[in-house]
Amino acid sequence: MQFSANLGFLWADRPLPDAIRAAKAAGFHAVECHWPYDTPAVEVKAALAETGLDMLGLNTRRGNVENGDNGLSAIPGREAEARAAIDEAIAYAVQIGAGKIHVMAGFGQGASARQTFVDNLNYACGKGAKHDLTMLIEPLNQHDAPGYFLQTTSQAANIIETIGAPNLKLMFDCYHVGRTEGDVITRLQELLPIIGHIQFASVPDRGTPDHGEIDYRSVFSEIEGFGWSAPLGAEYKPQGDTDASLSWMSALV
């Protein structure tokens, strides 16, 4: 079993290149991030080359965070901003060798939001295909992100089917699915053909995976049994120092 450190939460108090080095020292097999754009891509690329780690993926910008944005791609009337964010993410991913981009939907409801999201995803998939990039969409639970457009794996699967692009996949976050839908192992089994990346954290507190409502020892074993070999994304919130939170890496495998 291999793990990827999500540097949006792990070692988040360090500059991104130093967080990459910390992940290598801790024994992670890869890294991923949220919004790396304030760090020059050349610095991230150098840290990846130094450590030999791959950056699996990154997110499109959220928009105007001070005004409450959490993604742009499902917001009617903001298509130009959404596509600029997609273009930026693609350019950054290409520079650092990342293979996947999470296209954040944002807050919106109804048919117009869905059509806007579909149109922007078609744009993203077309642009991304030129660089062999996979686009990911991720349902967020309504406890953490009330009003977020993409709420369930069924909704995401329907959109993926509608678009039909081979480089559009589901980001399956066991934490969000556990909070919204439950029965994580069954949903993994059912959705495996369209899953592009898997993440995890404890439910309900989004902490380390060695406690809470989900038995991750069983989940990891099932995932391995599926033949899944890509690193799983550790996207949990450490209570204090990240290095002090890592005993789960040996305890659960």
The single residue listed with the structure tokens 């686009």 is: 135
Q: Are the CB atoms for 72 and 117 separated by under 8 Å?
A: no
Rounded-to-integer distance, Cα 9 and Cα 189, Å: 27
43 an active-site residue?
A: no
Number of structural domains (the chain) is: 1
pLDDT per residue as tens, the chain (253 positions): 999 999 999 999 999 999 999 999 999 999 999 999 999 999 999 999 999 999 999 999 999 999 999 999 999 999 999 999 999 999 999 999 999 999 999 999 999 999 999 999 999 999 999 999 999 999 999 999 999 999 999 999 999 999 999 999 999 999 999 999 999 999 999 999 999 999 999 999 999 999 999 999 999 999 999 999 999 999 999 999 999 999 999 999 8
Closest C-alpha among 87, 143, 75, 139 to residue 113: 75
Rounded-to-integer distance, Cα 52 and Cα 30, Å: 9
Helical residues (DSSP H) of the chain, grouped into ranges: 16-26, 41-51, 79-96, 110-129, 153-163, 174-180, 184-191, 216-225, 248-251
The single residue listed with the structure tokens 């990342």 is: 98
Domain that holds residue 120: 3-251
Looking at residue 137, which CATH number applies to its domain?
Answer: 3.20.20.150
Question: Which is the catalytic residue, given 66, 81, 138, 213?
Answer: 138
Rounded-to-integer distance, Cα 12 and Cα 35, Å: 11
Provide the β-strand partners of residue 168.
135
Helical residues (DSSP H) of 181-245, grouped into ranges: 184-191, 216-225
Q: What is the pLDDT of residue 181?
A: 95
50 an active-site residue?
A: no
